[in-house]
Amino acid sequence: MSFIQLAKRMNDIRPFYVMDLLARARELEAAGRSIIHLEVGEPDFSTPETILNVAHDALDKKQMHYTSAIGLIELRQKIADYYLSRFKVTVPVEQIIITPGASGALQLALSVLINPGDEVLMTDPGYPCNRHFVRLLDGKSISIPVTAETSFQLSVDSINQYWSDKTVAAMVASPANPTGTIIERDDMQAMINIIGQKKGVLLIDEIYQGLSYEAEDYTSLELTRNAFVINSFSKYFGMTGWRLGWMVVPEAYVDAVDRLAQNIFLASPTLSQYAAIEAFSDKTLAILEQRREEFQRRRDYLLPALQAAGFEVAVKPRGAFYIYANCSAFTDDSFTFVNQLLEEAGVAITPGIDFGEFEAGKHVRFAYTRPVPVLEEAVSRLKEFIKNF
Ligand SMILES: Cc1ncc(COP(=O)(O)O)c(C=O)c1O
């Protein structure tokens, strides 16, 4: 085909560089090389057996029709019950919307908020898709360089500094990808307050909620009813491939989000919704707690091991399963570093460029989604590699 009608916006939609790396890693594996995968942002654990059993049962007994656009009421009620039992917060079930992953939630939230030209504040480094979602709406993402000083998070000062008369919203995540850092309750409250004063909207991504270590596990819903609070079954619940998430929406936006969900998605996957009802049972939560403890053990091994090898980690990650490490002791070109590390040592990690521009060449992300003995092997390969880099 000689002609292709590609929209201009596609010039601004970047791939994940780590996908090319993953493809290369698979090639090397097919050729017999041993590759240690620390690049992928998903738990290595499979979906808990309890959830799988309920899914099998649902396949036998339920008809897999569309659900309502905002999801099965039984599941939404379970989520409300979970907020009450875990965080002692009452969330009206009407405001809980089931979505195809946090990805679906983020797109819905931004789509009901953004007009062309509107600005949205977010961190650099940060979750890269957010920038693209805003671009799809002809909005303008404002990437704020964040450092260890604010735990790689937005702050009242940076919000004040970057807020313009075109700004309508800010996006934060706690725990965050790629840094694993957390927004303390008081800081979150201060940001909620300042954005409220500016008559803006805060989108709070809590997708890594539950995966926190030595940090208070709270939800922003304890602090505000005016934010869009996004969550997912992907990470803590180990259900990445089921494509299911949820969002708690301020009351005034429920109708708009419902209308849009009807049009864009029709509904979230029905089987996944039946399965997810089991995600909040005591049995499942006990399994998830064991996994959380395992992630903490991995972090507790990998973090000092990387520091001893010469990486600088300026803020101790206390959530998710990521370590965002400064590699400038070895290179200012983390992209080349990461590619050579894969080719020569068979260790796959993610280059900083996948999370923004700010000091991206000096950073890499390690996902501790492998057991400790595998992490030990990775560190030993890494040390050998660095000697000759
Ligand atoms: C911060 C953050 N938000 C949202 C997502 C999207 O997740 P999902 O659509 O699987 O729920 C991810 C995935 O890695 C993420 O890291």
Location of structure tokens 């290369």: 24
Split at pLDDT 50, 70, 90, the class of 59 is: very high
Is the model more confident about 217 or about 320?
A: 320
pLDDT mean over 153-167 = 98
Other C-beta atoms within 10 Å of 93: how many? 14
Pick from 147, 111, 183, 155: nearest CA to 356: 147
Q: Is residue 2 predicted with pLDDT exceeding 90?
A: no
Q: Is the pLDDT of residue 1 over 70?
A: no
Closest CA to 201 of 143, 138, 118: 118
Instruction: Provide the residue ranges of all domains of the chain, joining segments of one domain with +.
Output: 9-46+284-388, 49-279
108: Cα separation from own chain's centroid:
16
The CATH number that domain 9-46+284-388 falls under is 3.90.1150.10
Distance 4 CA to ligand 1 centre (A): 31
Mean pLDDT of 32-59: 95
Q: Fold identical between 9-46+284-388 and 49-279?
A: no
Res 234: pLDDT: 97
Average pLDDT for 113-136: 97
Write the CB contacts of 337 (distance below 8 Å, at least 6 apart in sequence): 327, 330, 331, 351, 364, 389
Amino acid 216: pLDDT: 85
What confidence score (pLDDT) does residue 139 get?
98
**pLDDT(80) > 90:** yes
Pocket test for ligand 1, best of 124, 235, 265, 272 (most atoms within 8 A of CB): 235
Task: Give the HSE-up count for residue 235: Cα atoms under 13 Å, Cβ half-sphere.
Answer: 28
pLDDT of residue 301: 98
- Helix (H) / strand (E) containing 325: strand 322-326
Looking from the CA of residue 240, the nearest atom of ligand 1 is 10
Both structure tokens of 367: 């996902």
Question: From the CB of 234, is ligand 1 less than 6 Å away?
Answer: yes
Average pLDDT over residues 119-143: 97
Which atom of ligand 1 is nearest to 244's Cα? 11
Distance 131 CA to ligand 1 centre (A): 13
- Return the percentage of the chain with pLDDT > 90, whole number: 94
Does any ligand 1 atom lie closer than 6 A to the CB of residue 205? yes
Mean predicted confidence (pLDDT) in 37-44: 91
- For the segment 198-205, the average pLDDT, to the nearest whole number, is 98
- Percentage with pLDDT > 70 across the chain: 100
For residue 248, which amino acid is it?
V
Q: Which residues of 44-61 are buried (b: 16+ CB within 10 A; e: fewer)?
A: beebbebbeebbeebeee
Q: What are phi and psi of 350, to 5 degrees?
A: -105, 130
- C-alpha to C-alpha distance for 280 and 287, rounded to whole angstroms: 11
Q: Is 177 in the pocket of ligand 1 (CB under 6 A)?
A: yes
Whole-number Å distance between alpha carbons of 168 and 155: 16
Q: Encoding tokens for residue 138?
A: 């002809």
Pick the CATH number of 49-279 from 3.40.640.10, 3.90.960.10, 3.40.50.12280, 3.40.50.1950: 3.40.640.10
- Give the H or E element holding residue 196: helix 185-197
Q: Which ligand 1 atom sits closest to the C-alpha of 243?
A: 10
| CB-count burial class (<10 Å; 0-12, 13-18, 19+) for 335 | middle
**Residue 232 pairs with which residues in a beta bridge?**
245
Residue 82 half-sphere exposure toward CB, CA atoms < 13 A: 23
Say if strands 363-367 and 322-326 run parallel, antiparallel, or are unpaired. Answer: antiparallel
**Residue range 174-191: average pLDDT?**
98
Find the 102 Cα to ligand 1 centroid distance in Å.
6
pLDDT of residue 231: 98
Task: Examine the pLDDT at 169 and tell me if it is beyond 70.
Answer: yes
Owner of token pair 């009242």 = 156
pLDDT at 215 (0 to 100): 85
Q: Quote the pLDDT of residue 15.
A: 86
Token match 């009802």: residue?
277
Tokens of 386: 């660095």
Average pLDDT over residues 246-261: 98
pLDDT for 84-114, tens place per residue? 999 999 999 999 999 999 999 999 999 999 9
pLDDT of residue 264: 96
The Cα-based distances of 383 to 46, 96, 300, 339, 341 in angstroms read: 30, 47, 18, 16, 10
Amino acid found at 223: L
Contact 330, 363 (CB under 8 A): no
